Structure 1
Amino acid sequence: MDTSQHASPRTWAVAGLLATLAGLAVGHLVAALTAPRAAPLSALSDTVVAIVPLEVAHWFIDLVGTLDKPLLVIGLAVTVALLGGGIGRLWRTRPWLARAAVVAFAAVGAIAAVTRPGLGAAAAIPSLLAGAVVLVALQWWAARDAERTVTGRRGFLAAVGGVAAAAFGASWWATRIGPAAIEADRDQLVLPEPDAPAMEPGPVADFETEGLSSYITPNGDFYRIDTAITVPRIDVDGWSLRVHGMVDTERTYTMDDLLGRELIERDITLCCVSNQVGGDLVGNARWLGVSLAALLAESGVDPAADQLVSRSSDGWTAGSPTDLVFDGRDAMIAIGMNGQPLPVDHGWPARLVIPGLYGYVSATKWLTELELTTFDSYDAYWITRGWSTPRPIKTQSRIDTPRSKASAGTVAVAGVAWAQHRGISAVELRIDDGDWQPCELSDVATGDTWRQWLYEWNAPEGEHTLTVRATDGDGAVQTSEVQGVIPDGATGLHSVTVTVS
C-alpha cells in the first residue's frame, strides 16, 4: 500500500509555489485574451512605478539602464512566488490564515489593475481568478496530503505544474499569434504613398563605415524608452484620436480619417532625455503621417493654449509647447516608420513626432488624445517627477568606431552628431591633447536628422584618447561642461580610449 507520513514543510512550500505559479499563469492567460495590462504582474509593476519615490526610481535607472522594467517584473515574480511558497507552508498548520493571505494578495492585484489608467472594473478579474486557482489548488493538495499517498502528491505536483506551463504558453500564444494578437491587423494595413515624400539627403548620406550607425536606424534596432510594463495592444478598428480642451470644436479621428488626409513623409531623429553622453538612446527614422498643425487647426486652437498635452492609451502624458507645433517644423501624427506601419513597440497605431524636442515632452506612443491647455494648469507625467518643462534638444556627438582597439595605420574614426531642428554644421576630433581637427560630414536634407562624420586617422601604436565635439547650425559649439541627464538632458564631450597595436 502506497502510504507515508504527512508531507514535510518543504514539500508544502513547493506545493504553494506551484499553486501560485499556476494562478499567475491562468491570470495572465485571461488578461492576454482581454486586457494584457491587467495581468497580475503587469498591474503590480505599473503600480510600483507609479508610487516609488522619485529618488529611488532615478537611482535604479542609473544602475541598470533600460533593464529597469524587465528586472522589476522579474523581481516581483520571484517575490510573489516566494510568498506563495510561504503560504504553502502556512497552510500546513494554519489553513484559514493561509486562505486569508491568498485572498489579500489577490485583492492587492485586483486593486492595482483597476486603478491603472485606461482599465475598468473588469481588470480585477485576472488577479481574482489567479487567487481562486491558488485556493483550489492548495485545497486539493491538502486533500492529497490527508490521504498520505506519495502517488497522489506527485500527481498533484505534476498536474499543477502542467497547468502553469500550459497557461503561460497559451498566454504567450494569445498575445503573439492567437486571438489577442494585433500583428495581423497591423500587417493588413497597406500604407499609401506619401503625398509629400521625404527629401532625399544626398548621395553620401551614409559613409557605410564598419561600426558606424547607419543614416536610417532599422525598426528592430530603434531604441525604446517608455513607462509601459506591458506594451498596449490596440485594436485599430476601435481606435480613435480625440482633440479637445481649449478649442472651438472638439473632434475625433479614426485611422481611416488619417489615411484619407494628406500624408507627409519626413526623416526625423528622436532622442531620449535620459541618453547619456555617448549613449545609444537616439535613432533616425523615416516617418509617415499627417501634419499635426493642420489637424489641430481644424478644431480652432485658442491662442491662450500654450501647451499641447498628448495622452497614450495607458494614460501616460507629455506636454509640448503649442507654438512649436505651429512654427513650421514637421510635427506629425505618425502612422508609419521606415516604410512599414508603426511597430507595436513604437506606438501602433499612431504616435506623436515633434522634431527638436526630447521624447519625454513630445513623442507619445499609442496616442489617443490631444488636449489644448496651459502649462500653468497641467503638469505632464515626467514634469511631476522632477524633469524640466520642455527644452530644445542639446547638441551631442558620439564616437561609434573605434571604441577600444585599432591596428596601427589608417583608422576610420566615425560617429554621428545631432542637434535636431538646428542641424549640424561641423564636427571636430581631438586626438590626445592635440588640436581640434575638422571631420568630413555626410549629406543631409534637413536639420531634423543626425549627421554622420568621418576622420581618417594615421594611428601610431600606443594608447590614445579620442574626443569629439560638434557645432550646430546656429554656430554654437557643443559644451564641454558635464551635466547629468536630470533635469533636461546630459551635456559634455564623448571620449574613448583606444589601444593601437
Structure 2
Amino acid sequence: MHLRPRRGEGWFEGGCAAGVALLSLVVARIAFDGPSPSEVVADALIGIVPGALFSLILGQLEFAAKPLLHVGIGIGAIGVGAIVGRMYVACEASLVRLIGTIAVLIAVLWLAVLPMLGAGLLGLTRPASPPLWFSTGFGAVVLVVLVHSLTQRRADVRPDVVAPGRRRLVLTIGAVASMVASWLLWRTLGQSQSASPVLGAATAADGDGHPTPEYTPVGVFYNVSKNMLDPRVDEDGWRLRIIGDVENEYELTFAELKALPSVEQPATLCCISNEVGGDLVGHAQWKGVRLRDLLERGGVKPDSIDVVFHCRDEYRDSIALADALRPETIVVYEMNGAPLTHKHGFPIRVIVPGIYGMKNAKWVDRIQVVDNDFKGFWQVQGWSDTAGHQTMSRIDRPHAPRDRAQPGPRPIHGIAFGGDRGIARVEVSVDGGGTWFDAALRPAAGPFSWVRWSASFTPEVDERRTLMVRATDGSGRPQIDRYATPFPNGSTGYHSIAVTFENG
C-alpha cells in the first residue's frame, strides 16, 4: 500500500542524501586529479558571468570568492537532492522505481547537464580522473540509494513510527556529511590560493632598509587559479607537446626539456585583477628554455597568428606569435633557484614579461600554434586579450592608519612596475597630491623587474597626512591618474593612504 506523502516529507531526506553524495565526491576529488563535477559547474558559471560583475565580486570578496562559489554549488546540489527526495516519496517505493530513478537521473546528467556545461556527452571532452561520466554517475547512485533507504515504508505504516531512532541517526549522518563536505571545500579552497603577507612586513625584508624584498619568497608569492584543487603533475608521465601550425609536431620529456640550453632572468608577475595598492604582485628569478627555441624546432608556418597554452587543469590562454618569439619569453621550470612548486605550475609554466599573469600559464602540457586570434578562458568573459601591463606604484610603508616612531624624518617605501617598459621616475606626495617630490630608486634587478623606491619627510606631532605615489615608465609615459577597476585592462589610479604620524 502506498501512502500519500505528508507535507514537507522527502525534502530533508533528499537534502541529507545529497550531502553524503557530495562528501563522497569531495573525498574522491582530494584523492584523484580531477576536475570534479562541481569544478565543471564553476567554470561554466564563471564563463557566463559578465566580466565587470565578476571583477566587482572578486574585488569585494577577494580570496573568499572561490570557496564561496564552490560552497554555493554544494548548497545547490543539496537543493537538487531535496527535490529528488520529494519527487521520490510521491511514488510507491520499489526496486523497479529505484533502478528507474537512477537511470533517469544518470541519463539527464550525461546527456543534458554535462553537455550544457561544455563537457560534451558523458563529459568526454573534459579529461578527468576519475572520468566525469563515472563521478556524476556514482554521485547519482549514492543520492538515489540513500533517498530510497531514508524514505522507504513498510506496508501502510509511517516511517516515523517504524524505527524512529534509526531514521534520526541516518538523517543526522546526512546532515553531518553536508557540513563536513562544506568544511572540506572551504578548507581546501582556502589553502589553494594565497597572497603575499602584509605589505612591507618586516619579516620579508632583505636587511637593506627596505621593507619589501627584492625577490619575493616562493612561500608568499601570490597564487591565483580557477581550480578547486590545483593539479599535482607527475614529472615521469608528463610530456610537453608542440603541436598545431608547425612543420613538425614533437614532444619532450621533462628531462629532455631541462637538457636544452637554458636562460635565467628576473621578472615581476602581476595579476590583472590586482586592485590599486593590492598585493597580487611578486618578483622572482626564473630559469627555463626560450619559447622561441621550442617553436623554431617545430618550424612555425608563415600563416600563424597566436600561440596557445593548454594546461593540465583545462585552462587555456594565448599570446601573439610576436610575443612568443621574443627572447625574454621563457618556459620555466625553476623559481628563485628551486624547482617550481605545484601551486606555481610544476613542472613548467610560461613567463611572458610585460603581460599580466593570466597569460603566464601554469601546468602547461601542450603548446599549440594557430592561424587565428584565439580567445582564452578569461578573454571570452571580456578581459583584455593583449593584457599589456599598466604602470603601477604602491606604498608599502608606513601602514595606515597610524605610524609611531621617534621624532624626526619618517621613511616612506614602496614599489613601482611598468611591465616591460621599466620605471624612470617615482614621485611622492604627502599632502594629498598638492605637491610632489622625487623618490630615490634602487637599481632594478632586470629590465622586467619592479623598482623599489624610498623617500622621507618630517611630519608634525600627531599630524594626519594623505600620502600618494605615482610613477613614470621607461618610455616617459606617466602613470594613469584616473581610477579604474581591474576589468577589463587592469586597474589604474594613484595609490594613497591616510596616516596619522605619532611620536613614540
- Whether TM-score is above 0.5 comes out as yes
- Equivalence for 1:492: 493
Could you tell me whether the CA contact under 8 Å between 1:24 and 1:40 is conserved in 2? Answer: no
- Identify unmatched segments of 5+ residues in structure 2: 190-204
**How far is the alpha carbon of 1:255 from its aligned partner?**
0.7
What does 1:369-408 correspond to in 2, within 5 Å? 369-374=366-371, 376-404=372-400, 405-407=402-404
Pair 158,255 (structure 1): closer, same or farther in 2 beyond 3 Å: same
Does 2:78 match 1:81? yes
* Matched ranges for 1:78-117 at <5 A: 78-94=75-91, 99=101, 107=110, 112=117, 114=123, 117=126
Partner deviation per Cα, 1:431-485 (whole Å, 9 max, x = no partner): 1144322212223231211121111221223221111112222333323233332
Partner of 1:128: 137
1:229-255 deviation digits (Å, cap 9, x = unpaired): 432232322211111222222121111
- Equivalence map 1:263-412=2 (5 Å): 263-329=262-328, 331-360=329-358, 362-374=359-371, 376-404=372-400, 405-407=402-404, 409-412=408-411
Q: Compute the displacement of 1:59 (Å).
A: 4.0
Percent identity over paired residues? 28
Give, as a single letter, the amino acid of the residue that structure 2 aligns with 1:19.
Answer: A
Q: Distance in 2 between matches of 1:258 and 1:25?
A: 40
- Deviation per CA, 1:337-373: give whole Å up to 9, x if none: 223322222212211101111123x301110121223
Give the stretch that moved more between structures: 76-85 or 16-25: 76-85
Change (3 A) 1:238 1:165: farther
Give, in whole Å, the separation in 1 of the partners of 2:370 and 2:34.
31
SS at match of 2:419: coil
Match of 2:454 in 1: 454
SS at match of 2:14: helix
Is 397-406 or 258-267 further displaced after alignment? 258-267
Could you tell me how far 1:174 is from its partner in structure 2? 12
Residue-pair matches, total: 463
Give 1:173 deviation, angstroms: 13
- Kindly provide the amino acid, as one letter, of the partner of residue 301 in structure 2: D
Task: Report matched runs for 1:15-94 at 5 Å.
Answer: 15-37=13-35, 39-94=36-91
**How much does 1:488 deviate?**
2.1
| Cα distance, 1:235–1:487 mapped onto 2, change above 3 Å | same
Give the structure 2 partner of residue 182 of structure 1: none
CA deviation after TM superposition for structure 1 residue 134, in Å: 1.6
Contact 1:15 1:138 in 2 (8 A): yes
Amino acid at match of 1:65: E
Q: Could you tell me whether the CA contact under 8 Å between 1:271 and 1:283 is conserved in 2? A: yes
Q: In 2 relative to 1, CA 18–500 (structure 1 residues): closer, same or farther, beyond 3 Å?
A: same
Change (3 A) 1:163 1:121: closer
Q: CA deviation at 1:32?
A: 4.0
SS of the residue 2:243 aligns to: strand
Aligned to 2:146: 137
Contact conserved, 1:395 with 1:478, CA < 8 A, in 2?
Answer: yes
Task: Label 1:17 to 1:379 Cα distance change in 2 as closer, same or farther (>3 A).
Answer: closer
Alignment partner, residue 170 of structure 2: 156
> Which amino acid in structure 2 is aligned with residue 328 of structure 1?
P
2:74 is matched by which residue type in structure 1?
A
Q: Is the 8 A contact 1:481 1:491 kept in 2?
A: yes
The verdict on how the C-alpha distance between 1:32 and 1:158 changes in structure 2, with shifts beyond 3 A counting, is same
AA aligned to 1:385 is Q
Change beyond 3 A, Cα 1:222–1:170? closer
Q: TM-score, normalising length from structure 1?
A: 0.81
Q: 1:11 to 1:440 in 2, by over 3 A?
A: farther
User: Which stretch of structure 1 is more off in the superposition, 104-113 or 221-230?
Assistant: 104-113
User: Which residue number corresponds to residue 423 of structure 1?
Assistant: 422
Contact 1:117 1:314 in 2 (8 A): no
Aligned residue for 1:476, secondary structure, equals coil
Partner SS state of residue 268, structure 1: strand
Q: Structure 1 residues 143-152 or 66-75, which shifts more?
A: 143-152
Structure 2 CA distance for aligned equivalents of residues 269 and 80 of structure 1:
41
Change in Cα spacing, 1:378 to 1:171, as seen in structure 2 (3 Å) is: closer
The offset of 1:214, in angstroms, is: 1.9
**Cα distance 1:167–1:481, how it changes in 2: closer, same or farther (>3 A)?**
closer
Find the residue that maps to 2:362 and give its secondary structure: coil
Q: What is the identity, as a one-letter code, of the residue corresponding to 2:62?
A: G
Alpha-carbon spacing, 1:95–1:160, altered in 2? closer, same or farther (3 Å): farther
Q: TM-score, normalised by structure 2?
A: 0.81
